[in-house]
């Protein structure tokens, strides 16, 4: 019993030291490469006020000097200054001008955010929102609750996964996007929202008080007795690496791990790098190429210890950005087997620029390569085992991708047992 407790303490200590040391290492690197905003929300927001014309000029200069492609998509950048400088009178004029400039780059990841949009982005980084605590998705035109966060107003009100949302505060959600519905559900703290649901062909009405919800980016559980299942929803939160360590501790007695990155569109690059490093004792994690074509390698810390368990990563066409950094690093270093479908293919890196008037700009400043030097932008990462997952599978509560991952993990565990027996 004493040995078991001691081994757990050592395990926790090792994981903590790996993540702490690597985070310090990253923080010492060039800030142009590592897109780590200061997580103090007061410093993420630029409270300086300026007139619309100056906001435009500041944006124009940043794009000209920092954008990844120094040719700015093969155009004379001064034309935008000449075209707009005498036309900008209002904030809306400035927004139109800045968005037009960014659109000319033909880069979907570089975007200007008005005050409301920038606040929403910072909320995600801070990992807190005001709402009721549900995750939703659109399936066959219906807005379905796919999960309910524990100990939230929604869970206390008896809302369940699988419930279909019909109306929010008397407004039909038919034809609305997920973002539209999420906006209707969110609101000011301590206000109420009325939701009409459909469950087993019966309509239910719930009146729920909105509260501050701590966003959980990671869920961990033990499946089939000895397989740890860790789902990473996003890499955006400043608390994300701490959550991952908690997940590892929860599954530490398992002989194999499945990390689910399906639908994870990415987030903060350092989070992916830190997690990859936990599984590596040496080697490249990712390479970053800047606007001057200078390549910087981010390497795993040389160390005698790392997590060494059979590992499968689940991916799909929604797996992007930081998720692809983690998948690519562990695949190229032969530390993980990838199962699912080809990833999205977002190999570009953005920096967050806090702008005056509490606005912001996400600007592409570099691209990345996997440890084997592969540029995955617009190409994605191919899984080792391609397995589809259809809407019908979801509706029938089946997950062929997870089933395949469990089969692989069990074979790897059995192989380890046989090797241990033979030796």
* End position of a domain, from candidates 214, 248, 267: 214
Say if residue 223 is in the same domain as residue 257: yes
Say if residue 199 is in the same domain as residue 328: no
Say if residue 236 is in the same domain as residue 374: yes
Is 117 part of a structural domain of the chain?
no
Closest CA to 156 of 135, 134, 178: 134
Residues in the chain: 423
Is 66 part of a structural domain of the chain?
no
**Angle (nearest 5°) at CA 215 between 337 and 350:** 65
> What is the spatial distance between Cα 194 and Cα 166, in angstroms, rounded to a whole number?
11
How many H-runs (helices) and E-runs (strands) does the chain carry?
Answer: 13, 19
Concerning whether 346 is annotated as a catalytic residue, the answer is: yes
For 297-337, write each residue's pLDDT tens digit: 999 998 888 999 999 999 999 899 999 999 999 999 999 99
Q: Looking at 147, 237, 238, 321, which residue is catalytic? A: 321
Say if residue 178 is in the same domain as residue 262: no
Write the CATH number for 277.
Answer: 3.90.226.10
Token pair of 330 as six digits? 């562990």
Is 19 part of a structural domain of the chain?
no
pLDDT by 10s per residue, the chain, length 423: 444 444 554 455 555 555 555 455 444 443 333 443 333 344 578 889 999 999 999 999 999 999 999 999 999 999 999 999 999 999 999 999 999 999 999 998 899 999 988 887 876 665 567 889 888 887 777 899 987 888 899 999 999 989 999 999 999 999 888 778 888 998 889 999 999 999 999 999 999 999 988 777 899 999 999 999 999 988 888 788 889 999 999 999 999 999 999 988 888 899 999 999 999 999 999 999 999 999 999 999 988 889 999 999 999 998 999 999 999 999 999 999 999 999 999 999 999 999 999 999 999 999 999 999 999 999 999 999 999 998 888 888 899 999 999 999 999 999 988 888 887
Is 266 part of a structural domain of the chain?
yes
> What is the spatial distance between Cα 50 and Cα 420, in angstroms, rounded to a whole number?
68
* Number of domains the chain is built from: 2
Is 369 part of a structural domain of the chain?
yes
Say if residue 151 is in the same domain as residue 234: no
> What is the spatial distance between Cα 18 and Cα 241, in angstroms, rounded to a whole number?
11
* End position of a domain, from candidates 214, 237, 252: 214
Is 108 part of a structural domain of the chain?
no
Is 111 part of a structural domain of the chain?
no
> What is the spatial distance between Cα 259 and Cα 315, in angstroms, rounded to a whole number?
9
Please give the pLDDT value at position 421. 86
Please give the pLDDT value at position 20. 52
Closest CA to 365 of 36, 59, 67, 37: 67
Concerning whether 150 is annotated as a catalytic residue, the answer is: no
**N-terminal to C-terminal alpha carbon distance within the chain:** 26
Q: Looking at 126, 260, 277, 332, which residue is catalytic? A: 332
Please give the pLDDT value at position 14. 53
- Pairing state between β 227-232 and 202-209: unpaired
Say if residue 133 is in the same domain as residue 250: no
Concerning whether 76 is annotated as a catalytic residue, the answer is: no
Say if residue 234 is in the same domain as residue 334: yes
Write the CATH number for 139.
Answer: 2.30.42.10
The helix/strand/coil state of 348 is strand
Say if residue 139 is in the same domain as residue 285: no
Say if residue 401 is in the same domain as residue 339: yes
Say if residue 281 is in the same domain as residue 234: yes
* End position of a domain, from candidates 182, 214, 246: 214
Say if residue 260 is in the same domain as residue 295: yes
Q: Looking at 216, 331, 346, 406, which residue is catalytic? A: 346
The helix/strand/coil state of 373 is coil
Is 44 part of a structural domain of the chain?
no
Say if residue 231 is in the same domain as residue 202: no
b/e per residue, 246-283, with b = 16+ CB within 10 A? ebbebbeebbbbbbbbbbbbbbbbbbbbbbbbbbbeeb
Boundaries of domain holding 306: 216-348+365-422
């Amino acid at each position: 019993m004493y040995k078991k407790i001691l081994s757990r303490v050592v395990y926790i200590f090792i994981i903590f030291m790996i993540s702490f040391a690597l985070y310090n290492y990253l923080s010492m690197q060039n800030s142009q490469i590592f897109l780590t905003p200061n997580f103090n929300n007061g410093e993420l927001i630029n409270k300086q006020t300026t007139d619309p014309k100056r906001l435009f000029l500041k944006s124009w200069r940043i794009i000209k000097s920092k954008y990844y492609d120094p040719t700015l998509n093969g155009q004379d950048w001064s034309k935008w200054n000449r075209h707009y400088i005498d036309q900008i009178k209002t904030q809306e004029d400035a927004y139109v001008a800045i968005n037009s400039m960014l659109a000319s780059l033909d880069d979907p990841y570089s975007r200007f955010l008005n005050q409301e949009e920038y606040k929403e982005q910072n909320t995600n980084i801070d990992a807190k929102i005001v709402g009721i605590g549900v995750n939703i998705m659109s399936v066959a035109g219906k807005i379905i609750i796919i999960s309910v966060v524990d100990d939230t107003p929604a869970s206390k009100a008896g809302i369940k996964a699988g419930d279909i949302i019909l109306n929010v505060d008397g407004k039909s959600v038919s034809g609305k996007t997920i973002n539209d519905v999420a906006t209707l559900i969110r609101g000011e703290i301590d206000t109420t929202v009325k939701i009409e649901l459909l469950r087993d062909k019966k309509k239910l009405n719930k009146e729920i008080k909105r509260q501050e919800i701590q966003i959980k980016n990671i869920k961990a559980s033990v499946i089939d007795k000895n397989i740890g299942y860790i789902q990473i929803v996003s890499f955006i939160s400043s608390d994300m690496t701490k959550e991952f360590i908690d997940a590892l501790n929860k599954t530490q007695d398992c002989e194999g791990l499945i990390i689910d990155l399906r639908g994870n569109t990415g987030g903060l690059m350092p989070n992916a790098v830190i997690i990859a490093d936990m599984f590596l004792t040496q080697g490249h994690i990712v390479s970053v190429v800047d606007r001057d074509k200078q390549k910087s390698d981010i390497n795993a810390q040389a160390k005698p210890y790392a997590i060494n368990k059979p590992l499968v990563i689940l991916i799909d066409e929604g797996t992007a950005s930081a998720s692809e950094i983690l998948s690519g690093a562990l695949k190229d270093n032969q530390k993980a087997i990838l199962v699912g479908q080809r990833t999205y293919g977002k190999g570009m890196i953005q920096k967050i620029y806090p702008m005056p008037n509490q606005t912001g700009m996400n600007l592409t400043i570099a691209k990345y390569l996997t440890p084997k030097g592969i540029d995955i932008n617009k190409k994605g990462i191919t899984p080792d085992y391609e397995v589809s997952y259809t809407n019908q599978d979801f509706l029938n509560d089946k997950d062929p991708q997870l089933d395949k991952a469990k089969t692989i993990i069990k074979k790897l565990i059995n192989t380890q047992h046989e090797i241990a027996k033979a030796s």
